[in-house]
Structure 1
């Protein structure tokens, strides 16, 4: 019996119902062999989509096709520049269409290409003239920029209905300029009712911004239909990890805001006495933009839009049900939720965060990688206030699903967790700062990184993961 056979037969609590979903789309790196500390290799089980999703094969192919004619955009007379300019602006339009952006002078949305969601929300924060309101469950990208500007935080109630009531009361009392919320929690996967929140915000004279980093890769979002004024999301979470994100939003605030960066491309005219700035989006895209990143993001939007209606949600829900059922059968594994246990019908995307009794989250994540070839995330997920509430400040483990995920990935995770609970880790894990790295770590790095092994590297990382 092979290692993979053992993980999916003798370690699961009970057989799970068929059909067993396979990947919905081809991603780069699917099935790549990764080394184990115990020797040999297994196909990588990527359950870390919520941090960064792998590139869709169609996205990588599109970038490779565009590279021979890559050039700087706008104002270039050469053929490559003309092609790149046309492709860049077509990508902007495609991204806007994917999320239902309105066009036309009346209520027009503009699409500003940024580096990522954090960059997009910082840009928006620089454009808001007036107080802002947000929940305490936000990713730091949708919390820290507003905190620096004196925003008010509303504590999420134990129920979704109570949370909506608390938000409405604060909107009525403070009349902020903007309500900014996550579309889906990067910790619990729970989805907020955006149409309801947009109606509440507008009723009290506020606009609404949505951190769509987690929601957009999992659900189609139509900003016009939902009444969303601003939407930010990242290419690296939408299967286009080429360094681009976007802010899609109403033009007036963005046209009136100071340029996000001062420099070429953001101007109409410069003299030694002053500068006349361009309107958005050029106003906030100074310097040479990430043309290939924008093209990659547009290619991801096209590829996902071409999938059958409802296919992404159905694929994910089948895997999430399988994962939930398996975790419920593991005594000592405790999923973290905001409202899912309240009896309300709370929609979720494929993000599950949990703790394991008796084991630090860092050790669990290292064990899953080192002994089973499974990639998950551990930490506080750049959502420290929320982890303070849900895990008393402790760290946790997050497994997240995507287009390339399969039932086999879920089953390997469940089998590995059952093995940990029943037999403990099969390797030694230690570290000077409680990072629980495998000791020794004989796994080698790919040839293109040189002769060193993982055990030779400093993998401490940042204090909070994405």
Structure 2
């Protein structure tokens, strides 16, 4: 623990918490930001229908909902022609896009993805091996797309789907470089920004990506909303994700007499999650006005403190895909040799009031591979079959990190 102290704690969101509880599980669900809670509380007395009423309450709620869409779109750098579609979460967003793919689309992913970016894609998708470093990811994608260009029928679409930051290791993927490769071969690219957006600015225009998905519950707005943002042509041409009220411009007396709406409404049938959208927009606005460079510097200091402390514990082994110095956000997965990960997590919670995640983190292929590689790298034969994950957020302090390290060092 010889790293320099982290900068003073800036918390532009006013993250809520329970005194005495140490939450190191932000990667699963982040705590609620005061900005989100306040936005919801302010709107609650006015709560009414959206897009479906002429009364003052309904008009106010409709305006709040559409302003939230604009705020979220601005936060992620949405361009003219992009749709900002509110969903339930990242998984819902990716499934929506999977339903909207043109016939014959080939999807290219990496085996290190979260299940949400592995399971929704159609048969015939290409799953590339986990690369050893970011440059290897770029080379592997270039080779795969060149092969598809030779072998696939001309004109069939290709979508590359990749994480922005791994939910297992926190390692940041070379999104801009992957986007350049994809576009050079005529492919589109989706970024799963669920783990990246809470830690770093994400801009569709700057990264030149076609689609982006994220979850509010990982972005300090745990009110059941996510978004899919991106190019409108595939989304407008696809059948609605849900059939129902709000997704239509006309319904006639016969079953086939339906004209579907275009734009976000096409895929937002039913009463929308107004409060979730407003909460997410409030967090986006607060973060947009914050000093993101200072927040990043502080997180990196805490992350360095955590990783150095873990490395100093003789029975703790960190899991990683890329070299140890690769860029990453505040997520670290590790194992304690000779100890069951679920048992360690339970002891941390019961004896120290520290919350971490244990398991395979909804990324089973990657987590199992990393556990196997960790055993080979260290020569340890007593590593458990599942891992532990500590993930940092705006409310994390040096004392929280030190408490975890002390608890691990003194496990009975």
Is 2:134 the partner of 1:151?
Answer: no
Q: 2:4 aligns with which of 1, 5, 17?
A: 17
Q: Assess if the C-alpha contact under 8 Å between 1:179 and 1:201 holds in 2.
A: yes
Distance change in 2, residues 1:80/1:324 (3 Å): same
Q: 1:417 aligns with which of 388, 408, 411?
A: 408
Q: Assess if the C-alpha contact under 8 Å between 2:12 and 2:286 holds in 1.
A: no
Q: 1:166 aligns with which of 134, 140, 144?
A: 140
Is 2:323 the partner of 1:340?
Answer: yes
1:353-405 superposed Cα distances (whole Å, 9 cap, x missing partner): 00001101101110110000001000000000001210139210000001111
Instruction: Using the TM superposition, give the Cα deviation of residue 21 of structure 1 relative to its aligned residue in structure 2, in angstroms.
Output: 4.8
SS of 1:389's partner is: helix
**Alignment-derived partner of residue 252 in structure 2:** 271
- d(CA) in 2 for partners of 1:414 and 1:100? 38
Q: Map of 1:35-184 to 2, 5 A cutoff?
A: 43-103=20-80, 108-129=81-102, 130-146=105-121, 148-175=122-149, 177-184=158-165
Q: Map of 1:309-388 to 2, 5 A cutoff?
A: 309-341=292-324, 346-388=326-368
SS of 2:97's partner is: helix
SS of 1:179's partner is: strand
TM-score with structure 1 setting the length: 0.81
Instruction: Using the TM superposition, give the Cα deviation of residue 75 of structure 1 relative to its aligned residue in structure 2, in angstroms.
Output: 2.8
SS of 1:326's partner is: helix
- d(CA) in 1 for partners of 2:123 and 2:236? 20
- RMSD, aligned CA: 1.4
Q: Map of 1:426-465 to 2, 5 A cutoff?
A: none
Q: Assess if the C-alpha contact under 8 Å between 1:20 and 1:407 holds in 2.
A: no
Instruction: Using the TM superposition, give the Cα deviation of residue 19 of structure 1 relative to its aligned residue in structure 2, in angstroms.
Output: 4.4
- d(CA) in 2 for partners of 1:80 and 1:53? 31
Q: Assess if the C-alpha contact under 8 Å between 2:16 and 2:33 holds in 1.
A: no
More deviation in 170-179 or 65-74? 170-179
- d(CA) in 2 for partners of 1:20 and 1:198? 34
- d(CA) in 2 for partners of 1:299 and 1:22? 21
Distance change in 2, residues 1:374/1:27 (3 Å): farther
Q: Assess if the C-alpha contact under 8 Å between 2:6 and 2:298 holds in 1.
A: no
For structure 2, the 5+ residue unaligned runs are 150-156, 373-383
**Alignment-derived partner of residue 380 in structure 2:** none
1:420-443 superposed Cα distances (whole Å, 9 cap, x missing partner): 1xxx1xxxxxxxxxxxxxxxxxxx
Q: Map of 1:225-240 to 2, 5 A cutoff?
A: 225-240=206-221
1:12-31 superposed Cα distances (whole Å, 9 cap, x missing partner): xx55533465363454542x
Q: 1:303 aligns with which of 274, 277, 286?
A: 286
For structure 1, the 5+ residue unaligned runs are 1-13, 34-42, 425-466
Instruction: Using the TM superposition, give the Cα deviation of residue 257 of structure 1 relative to its aligned residue in structure 2, in angstroms.
Output: 0.7
Q: Assess if the C-alpha contact under 8 Å between 1:22 and 1:407 holds in 2.
A: no
More deviation in 305-314 or 355-364? 305-314
1:109-156 superposed Cα distances (whole Å, 9 cap, x missing partner): 11000000000000000111211100000000000001x433110002
Q: Assess if the C-alpha contact under 8 Å between 2:35 and 2:279 holds in 1.
A: no
**Alignment-derived partner of residue 239 in structure 2:** 258
- d(CA) in 2 for partners of 1:223 and 1:159? 23
